[in-house]
Structure 1
Amino acid sequence: MNRLILTRISTAATQPLKLKSKQWALRNANSMRFASTEASNGEAVLEQAMANANVTKRNIIKQSHPAVPLATFHSRLDYQIRHKGAPKKFLENVLNIVKEIKQHNLTLDQTTYYAILTAYARNRDQEGVMRTLKEMKQNGLTPSVDNYNLVLETLANMGHVKQQNILKEEMKQNGVPLTTSSYFHLLRGMCKQDELEYALDTLEEMKKMNVQANLSCYATIISASLRLSDATTAFSVLKEAENAGLPVQSQPRLYLDAMRVGANNDSEEIVNYCWDKAIGTYSMRPDEGTLLNVLRVAAKTGNTKLATDTIRQLSTSGYPYKEHYFTPLMEAFIVKGDLKSAFNVLDIMRVSGVSPTLRATLPIRKQLDKDVDAIDKAYYILEELKKENKAVDISAFNVVVAACADAKDIERTVATYREAHALGVKPNVDTYNLVLEACIHTRMKGMGNVVIDEMKKAEITPNLDTYAKMMELSCTQKNYEDAFVYLEEMKSYDIVPPEHCYVRLAQKLAYEQDPRFHMVLEEMETFGYKVTPRIRALYGKSK
């Protein structure tokens, strides 16, 4: 009895507690705005609340494990990097993908930032690169070596060496080892700013750090050396690359560049070595300017083989033979003391389709300059060639006559001129003009008249130089009226007399106080020649 009463009391007490428990669950789930006091209605509401709670739980799980993984975005970014499109479009695509990543509440990682840095780097957007790097560090990420290298590359393009060094120290502090690519970008920045010594120190640093320099590192320094005309450094770095076992043959232009800077610095050793590699081994084809520079070095050092090879290469490269190609070869023989071979170059020129002029023989003329013994020796070489049944080139003969005229030795000049027939040479207009030059030096107008008469007999037509020399020869005489005759004769052929003819005549008229001085100056101005105050001041001065 007592037990029955207690049971009823206990049941009555627990029912309100169960109902309150259900009502609490309903309120906690926020699915109902009211609670039923009836047990049956409360159970139905409780089931609904539990269902809603399960939906919320699934949503939480879904956010923790997104439907689109970050790897999918990485794949898209990788495609953009590999796809070589327009830089601006590439940057736009990358930033759009990054925007999607953020919309999915995903965290940017090293791979994502690498794509962003690459996009900015391709656009040469230094501000964007530096901003991205700063964002990485603010988000607690230590940039990888690849990301640092992208920044170093961008700074190298701008030549910002100071900022590169700051970044280099930061890499060391963060324990990020510098790679070959890192050093390559550092070297590019230094060489862009012409800091060649700094670049060489960095190359040594690579060795100490056991970082192997690749061919691009060496090529960068060689190019800077070329720009700075430092032949010694260019050659030294090139040899170092060879000794390191690098595939220099894959970039034969390095030899060509080193040869160019070597030629600029008159280094026969560098030019010879690089010529054998660039042209001899790899069949490179230098431009005409480089070949002419090599010819200059060959002439200066007496390297006749190099000069010959260079002339041959000019032809191989498609450049038609020209007179000034052969002059260095002539100079090279003269440096070696082989005057006979220098004369033979004139024959080579003719065989090659080039007719030598007086300009071509200037190296020989300079060698014989006012040295009578050397002049006689040169003449004996012509006789020797004749005895060997070799043709004596008229240019070779003329240069000996020119040397006699330069020595102001009229007797030797005329004597040599008279030997033309014996040497099997037919004098040309240059020959006669050279004898006239000797007449001017010695003021022998009579001999000059003889030369003119012999020209007419030989049916040699006088040229502008002939008239100019006869004018000048007339101005050496007390009676200089013939100077006006030759002046008018030139004009009769519709030839504008050279400026130096007017200057020489004006000087003579001023000296003689001849009032025709003013007429000559007016005529000079008519032909467009400038009359200087110095020339005007000549008249009026006493003899």
Structure 2
Amino acid sequence: MQAPIVRDGLWRCLCPSYRPNLIFKATRSSRPQALRTHHRLSRPATCNASGLVASRHSTISTSQYRKQHISPTISTSSRGFQSLARLVKGRLEELDTTAIYDNLRVWAATGNQAKVTEAVRYLIYERQERPNVRLYSALILVNVSPLYGTAGKVAALLQDMRHDGIELDAGTCHDVLEALAVHPDYLLRNEIIEYMEERWLTLNNQGHNFVVAGMLRDRMFESALEKIESMARQGMHIQPWLYDKAVYMLCDIGEIDEAYKIMRNRRDSEVRAISPVLWSYFLDTASKYCHHEATKFVWESRVKPSYLQPSSGLCLNVLNTAARHGDAHLATDVFRVLTNRNTIFDHQHYEMLLEAYINAGDIKTALSVLIIMQDAGVKPDDGTTSPILRHLQQDPERPMEAFTILQAFEQAGMKIPIAAVNCTIQAAVAVQDLEQAIEFYKALHVVSPAGPNTATFNILFRGCSKMGRKELAMFLAAEMIQLKVPPDSITYDRLILVCVGGHDIDDAFQYYEEMRDQGFIPRGGTFTSLVKACVQAGDSRAEEVIEDMRHLGINMAKLELWINAQKRKPNLDAKENQERNRTPDAFDFAGVVS
């Protein structure tokens, strides 16, 4: 026998064209309503959202039904219920039934579940009201409460309506959609919409808003946005809260483009009720994602006219966005806002402003930022000038252009920071124009009277190492001593590499020993270059360097592999081997790798 097909939620997901018998379709009794003195409920004992309690195949009277139909937590025979009944009567007995129904609707709309339960209980127990669509509508609508409402409670109430032979009207359908806008259930929502279509019940503007809200809650963003666009084309009124919800949820998932589109269309349309909180949140999110158009849109619309006062942290995000996209105008305006609140600027602020000008291609203003920094007591360094360096080394002509600008600044009476001159020298070295770098160095005293610093010589030593200019490096080293510029670890490191490149092991060891005596440690690559040079020259001092590396805990795995490979070379010249054997200070490979 073939197993029956279970048409559950999964079935409806996989078969969207399937139109089931809706769970809330009313099945009217064959007997007139006036003759129905008993309610036959054939369902398991449950305690559902509406508070309806029934046992399987039980026959209960209307009086019993009224007592059991409201509260799942208070027994009808308990003292708690009796005190509750007196309390309710004290509040509601002065109102007529129509007024109670009107208040019931208000309490339901605000999600006041306790008041709705009390009022429904009072109407059934004291006013002898029979279950009807208005009572069910209130019990459904109260599920708009974010804390106490659920989609499961709504579905249970619809099931109860079916058993009671009460058919949904258009208003109750909209109540269901409003509850599902807070507690989404796309299957139930689709069934409600199908039910309304089958009975030619019109979905009003508010209902369309509830449908979109439910889609957003279900994270069906594409469908929700299509629905919003369709509503706008048809001239429907889209509630401001729906726009707010869409923007918040799109920002949460990083869909800044779509959120920006909504914000822009909303500002340009007649719907202008955008709260300052939403403006601030959107600016914060857009700037975090470095979305330039959205960030500039909010800044120009709200911050510049002083409608919105962003925090200092938010200003940093905007400044970073402006820097990445080369928007110097926006970056400058952020500085205006920060200056008005007496912000103390540091390297981070100036570096982002500088980067904004560089990305905008304004090298002159970018260099002037370095001067402003120095005048403000914030000393530029190599990290500050890195965006300028990246710009200058892209074209061999740019280093000279930048140096000429610095000369013009100096002639205008400005004090040029040494970091700015070093940047042009480093750019010349990067484009392999060492001669131009030396010319910049010679004119440095004129442009920056403070003279060269350690970083200046380190840059030039690197150029000498790359170009194999040992004699020039030795001249610069002597000049460094004459100018009393203190060396650092990078200075010694590069001098060792210059000497190794010039095959002068003695000078390399001299700098190495002097470096170690001052407590500096060479970089791993410098250690390796020095050892390899000694091994290839048969210099036994390599063992001293290797022992130093071992003592410092430097990884030597690759170096030892290289040394072993040198030992196993099959085509060593016999004459070279004989000469090495006759040398008293021959290098002991076995001792190195032991």
Range of TM-score over shorter length = 0.7 to 0.9
Which has the bigger relative contact order, CA under 8 A and spacing at least 6? Answer: 2
Aligned CA distance change for structure 1 residues 243 and 333 (closer, same or farther; 3 Å): closer
Q: Is the 8 A contact 1:142 1:174 kept in 2?
A: no
Which residue is equivalent to 1:59?
none
Mapping of 1:307-346 within 5 angstroms? 307-314=331-338, 320-346=344-370
Aligned CA distance change for structure 1 residues 75 and 228 (closer, same or farther; 3 Å): closer
CA distance in 2: counterparts of 1:400 and 1:208, whole angstroms: 58
Which residue is equivalent to 2:483?
458
SS at match of 1:359: coil
The one of 391, 401, 404 aligned to 1:367: 391
CA distance in 1: counterparts of 2:318 and 2:106, whole angstroms: 49
Which has the larger Rg? 1
Q: Is the 8 A contact 1:393 1:425 kept in 2?
A: no
Which residue is equivalent to 1:206?
231
- CA displacement, residues 284-335 of structure 1 (integer Å, 9 cap, x when unaligned): 3446676455445534554321121123345557864232333343344345
Mapping of 1:484-523 within 5 angstroms? 486=511, 489=514, 492-493=517-518, 497-502=522-527, 504-505=529-530, 508=533
CA distance in 1: counterparts of 2:384 and 2:339, whole angstroms: 19
CA distance in 1: counterparts of 2:524 and 2:149, whole angstroms: 58
Q: Which amino acid aligns with 2:333?
A: D
Q: Is the 8 A contact 2:292 2:322 kept in 1?
A: no
Could you state the TM-score of these two structures normalised by the residue count of structure 1? 0.72
Which residue is equivalent to 1:103?
125
CA distance in 1: counterparts of 2:182 and 2:264, whole angstroms: 27
Q: Is the 8 A contact 1:226 1:258 kept in 2?
A: no
Is 1:404–2:433 an aligned residue pair? no
The one of 383, 390, 395 aligned to 2:407: 383
Aligned CA distance change for structure 1 residues 231 and 128 (closer, same or farther; 3 Å): closer
Aligned length, in residue pairs? 471
Aligned CA distance change for structure 1 residues 187 and 479 (closer, same or farther; 3 Å): same
Q: Is the 8 A contact 1:215 1:241 kept in 2?
A: no
Mapping of 1:98-247 within 5 angstroms? 98-104=120-126, 105-122=128-145, 123-143=148-168, 147-207=172-232, 210-247=235-272
CA distance in 1: counterparts of 2:460 and 2:104, whole angstroms: 84
Q: Is the 8 A contact 1:252 1:278 kept in 2?
A: no
Unaligned runs of 5+ in 1: 1-65, 85-89
Q: Which amino acid aligns with 1:116?
A: L
- CA displacement, residues 385-415 of structure 1 (integer Å, 9 cap, x when unaligned): 2222222221211111111222333332222
Is 1:348–2:408 an aligned residue pair? no
Q: Is the 8 A contact 1:259 1:274 kept in 2?
A: no
Q: Considering fraction of residues, name the structure with more helix.
A: 1
Aligned CA distance change for structure 1 residues 205 and 473 (closer, same or farther; 3 Å): same
Which residue is equivalent to 2:467?
442
Which residue is equivalent to 1:35?
none
SS at match of 1:401: helix
Which residue is equivalent to 1:12?
none
Q: Which amino acid aligns with 2:130?
A: T
Q: Is the 8 A contact 2:371 2:414 kept in 1?
A: no
SS at match of 1:422: helix
CA distance in 1: counterparts of 2:535 and 2:391, whole angstroms: 37
Aligned CA distance change for structure 1 residues 538 and 219 (closer, same or farther; 3 Å): farther
In the TM superposition, what is the alpha-carbon distance from 1:170 to its structure 2 partner? 2.6
Aligned CA distance change for structure 1 residues 201 and 482 (closer, same or farther; 3 Å): same
CA distance in 1: counterparts of 2:196 and 2:100, whole angstroms: 28
In the TM superposition, what is the alpha-carbon distance from 1:259 to its structure 2 partner? 8.0
Q: Which amino acid aligns with 1:215?
A: P
Q: Is the 8 A contact 1:156 1:164 kept in 2?
A: no
Q: Is the 8 A contact 1:510 1:541 kept in 2?
A: no
Is 1:274–2:298 an aligned residue pair? yes
CA distance in 1: counterparts of 2:560 and 2:182, whole angstroms: 59
Alignment RMSD: 4.0
Is 1:421–2:445 an aligned residue pair? yes
SS at match of 2:562: coil
State which drifts further: 125-134 or 200-209. 200-209
- CA displacement, residues 40-97 of structure 1 (integer Å, 9 cap, x when unaligned): xxxxxxxxxxxxxxxxxxxxxxxxxx9966458658857966998xxxxx64665455
CA distance in 2: counterparts of 1:513 and 1:288, whole angstroms: 63
Aligned CA distance change for structure 1 residues 273 and 120 (closer, same or farther; 3 Å): closer
Q: Which amino acid aligns with 1:191?
A: L
SS at match of 2:445: coil
Could you state the TM-score of these two structures normalised by the residue count of structure 2? 0.67
Q: Is the 8 A contact 1:321 1:353 kept in 2?
A: no
